[in-house]
Amino acid sequence: MSDKAVLTLEGKQYEYDIHTGSEGERCIDITNLRKETGYITMDEGFGNTGSCYSDITFVDGAKGILKYRGYPIEDIAENATFVETAYLILYGELPTADQLRSFSGALKEHAPLHTNLKHHFSGLPSDAPPMAILSAMLNMVSCFHPDILEVHTSGKGFDKSAALLLSKVRTIAAWVFRMAAGKAFNDPNPNLSYCANFLHMMFSDPYQEYIPSPVIEKALNLFLVLHADHEQNCSTSTVRVVGSSRANLFSSVSAGVCALWGPLHGGANTAVIQMLEEIQASGRPVTDYINMAKAKNNTFRLMGFGHRVYKNFDPRSIILKKAVDDVLQELNMQDPLLDIARELEEKTLADSYFKERNLYPNVDFYSGILLRAIGIPLNMYTVMFAIGRMPGWIANWRELHDHKQRISRPRQIFTGSNTRSYIPLEKRT
């Protein structure tokens, strides 16, 4: 197979290198295109454009394959805790027992928030959007840790920054919920696992410590593992763009939270439940909603369906669908929204509109039903996605520095007014 691409422009030929990744993906390196031809490429939404070379996560959208550092998501989901998964994504290898002990110790050490940070919560309205608070607080945390405001991409500085963010994102999230519920904050309990500690901080009350059932703790672990990283998605790309200016890790992931918030991205898990609740309340058949989603003149979309990369099943949705069945059965719970979700999936899989466009359930389609079973309130769903994605954001931020990546600065094609002269105010009509 040729390792050169030939471009003919205005009768002249230009050659560009073709690079092949470790999984056989191929790209045309156009780094010198503009310098040599004066042309740029255009690819709105970057569906055909690679932004980087990465060793972290691999997705084969056609085959529904997802691997973290080479490990298939099915293996990781079945066998690894979120803390092990976070270590793998951050450092490239599954941790040894000693490494896991030390990493877990760092997470426990960094769980508490600075007392002064608590005051910032008290000034916020109880109905403030949790993602707004999360993004703000992640930046705010850095004010109390000037030592790691510097860009540490290796050694103890990076280890501390990563552990601090992975741990504190969980405490901040729990306190966001407690503040909105008008409840006292629970301090982290260092004797609990990562997930049990989060659930304790969320749901314990002064006279009743919340001890999660193993089923609930396992379900939360799985949710976080499945959200840990996913190549150059919108929020991870945002973290890389911000980090490419050599901004610190806290401001970069704070920006990632903002990108994740949108309903086309991480906000979809919330929108799926709202859609299912609307269908349930309407009493209308799901086919009405499927037809709305297909109608060209209707902006309604089936939330939780479709994906820029997966043109087959999102492997995470398959794992989540099974987990929802298992958890509801083990908790002896029913969820009418699950029945609606199943019917939607069944009918879309048989519908040519969805088949022609390769629209399948994505990670967000069943994840909300799992969060409902765990007892997480709806306005916290995208916050949960952010907790899960933290390792991926941190690992990508570090990788861009390891690769000494240039500052991100895309070009554009100008389509506005050509040169014109200033019109004095009195002459403007």
Q: Which residues are designated catalytic?
A: 307, 364
Q: Which of 26, 34, 284, 308 binds ligand SDX (CB under 6 A)?
A: 308
CA distance 185 to 118: 9
359 binds ligand SDX (CB under 6 A): yes
CA distance 380 to 402: 33
Q: Which stretch binds ligand SDX (CB under 6 A): 75-83, 281-289, 303-311, 399-407?
A: 303-311
| # of chain residues touching ligand SDX (CB under 6 A) | 21
What's the burial of 159, exposed, middle or buried (CB within 10 Å: 0-12/13-18/19+)?
A: middle
What is the per-residue binding string for ligand SDX in 176-215, x denoting contact by CB under 6 A?
Answer: ----------------------------------------
304 binds ligand SDX (CB under 6 A): yes
Helix axes 155-180, 97-109, angle to 10 degrees: 50
The tokens describing 197, both together, are: 């500690």
268 binds ligand SDX (CB under 6 A): yes
Which residues ranging from 271 to 300 are in contact with ligand SDX (CB under 6 A)?
293
Q: Measured from the CB of residue 166, what is the shortest distance to ligand SDX in angstroms? A: 18
Burial 189-206 (b: 16+ CB within 10 A, else e): eeebbbbbbbbbbbbbee
The tokens describing 289, both together, are: 């909603």
CA distance 41 to 27: 14
Contacts of 377 (CB under 8 A, 6+ apart): 177
The tokens describing 428, both together, are: 């403007």
Sign of CA dihedral 292, 296, 297, 299: positive
Helix axes 82-91, 97-109, angle to 10 degrees: 100
383 binds ligand SDX (CB under 6 A): no
270 binds ligand SDX (CB under 6 A): no
CA distance 395 to 52: 13
Q: Measured from the CB of residue 358, what is the shortest distance to ligand SDX in angstroms? A: 8
Q: Which stretch binds ligand SDX (CB under 6 A): 92-100, 187-195, 242-250, 264-272?
A: 264-272
Is the Cβ of residue 110 or residue 230 nearer to ligand SDX in the bound state?
Answer: 230
Determine the 3-state secondary structure of 145 from DSSP. Answer: coil
Q: Which of 301, 311, 342, 347 binds ligand SDX (CB under 6 A)?
A: 301
Is the Cβ of residue 363 or residue 387 nearer to ligand SDX in the bound state?
Answer: 363
Under a CB-based contact definition with an 8 Å cutoff, are residues 230 and 260 in contact?
Answer: no
363 binds ligand SDX (CB under 6 A): yes
CA 15 centroid distance within chain: 37
Q: Measured from the CB of residue 360, what is the shortest distance to ligand SDX in angstroms? A: 10
Residue closest to 341 by CA, chosen among 358, 324, 353: 324
Whose structure tokens read 């005051």? 119
Is the Cβ of residue 243 or residue 304 nearer to ligand SDX in the bound state?
Answer: 304
What is the per-residue binding string for ligand SDX in 34-63, x denoting contact by CB under 6 A?
Answer: -----------x------------------
Which residues ranging from 228 to 257 are in contact with ligand SDX (CB under 6 A)?
230, 233
Whose structure tokens read 């314990």? 204
CA distance 330 to 301: 33
Q: Which of 120, 183, 218, 265 binds ligand SDX (CB under 6 A)?
A: 265
The tokens describing 56, both together, are: 């972290």
307 binds ligand SDX (CB under 6 A): yes
Q: Which stretch binds ligand SDX (CB under 6 A): 124-132, 166-174, 301-309, 393-401?
A: 301-309
Is the Cβ of residue 110 or residue 389 nearer to ligand SDX in the bound state?
Answer: 389
306 binds ligand SDX (CB under 6 A): yes
Torsion angle (degrees, nearest 10) of CA 308, 391, 397, 384: 60
Q: Measured from the CB of residue 292, what is the shortest distance to ligand SDX in angstroms? A: 9
Q: Which stretch binds ligand SDX (CB under 6 A): 82-90, 91-99, 302-310, 404-412?
A: 302-310
- Residue whose C-beta lies closest to ligand SDX: 306
Which residue ranges make up the site for ligand SDX (CB under 6 A)? Answer: 45, 230, 233, 264-265, 268, 293, 301-309, 357, 359, 362-364
